[in-house]
Amino acid sequence: MRTCLFPGTFDPITLGHTDIINRGLDLFDRLVIGIGVNSSKTPMFKPEERIEWIRNIYKDDARVEVTFYEGLTVDFCKKIGARYILRGIRYVSDFEYEKAIADVNRTVAPEIETILLSTSPQYSSIASTLVRDIYRYGGDVTPFLPAAVLEGMQNRKQ
């Protein structure tokens, strides 16, 4: 079984993320979406909210799992039996950043391969940081988010 980890903060998960996940499902038998802790980010949404949203989006696809983890991504890959890490890239700057991480991961855990997928053009400008800012100031985030996330955010405001 080809198991892959798609790590990120997913704060919140966007249509750009789901684009990568949906296309990754054609490549792997099991895709674990790992909500990780990034020491340089302060999340807006609780891990439980993000997990619930993702589970809701993929409730009909048994190949998708979602979980929270802390520590090194390659260590978590070993824990869940993932031989692959999936990452999405939007721009050249994303590629440079992701390649550096992939190179370090390969040095630490050469048995784990990183796969980079470029985001579909219509989603290349979507970033969770921008979505959070729009949401924080009362703007319309509808064009950027899956329905399950929009619903969760609406329930959160009430």
Catalytic residues: 17, 41, 90, 128
The answer to the question of whether 156 is labelled as a binding residue is: no
The answer to the question of whether 84 is labelled as a binding residue is: no
- For the record, the structure tokens of 95 come out as 């590629």
The answer to the question of whether 40 is labelled as a binding residue is: no
The answer to the question of whether 9 is labelled as a binding residue is: yes
Q: Which residues contact 126 (CB under 8 A, 6 or more apart)?
A: 14, 15, 16, 119, 144
The answer to the question of whether 67 is labelled as a binding residue is: no
3-state secondary structure of 45: coil
The DSSP line for 100-145 is HHHHHHHHH-TT-EEEEEEPPGGGTT--HHHHHHHHHTT---GGGS
> Do residues 42 and 81 make contact, with C-beta atoms less than 8 angstroms apart?
no
The answer to the question of whether 120 is labelled as a binding residue is: no
> Do residues 106 and 112 make contact, with C-beta atoms less than 8 angstroms apart?
yes
The answer to the question of whether 124 is labelled as a binding residue is: yes
State the binding site. 9-10, 17, 41, 73, 87-90, 98, 123-129
State the binding site for ATP. 9-10, 17, 88-90, 98, 123-129
State the binding site for substrate. 9, 41, 73, 87
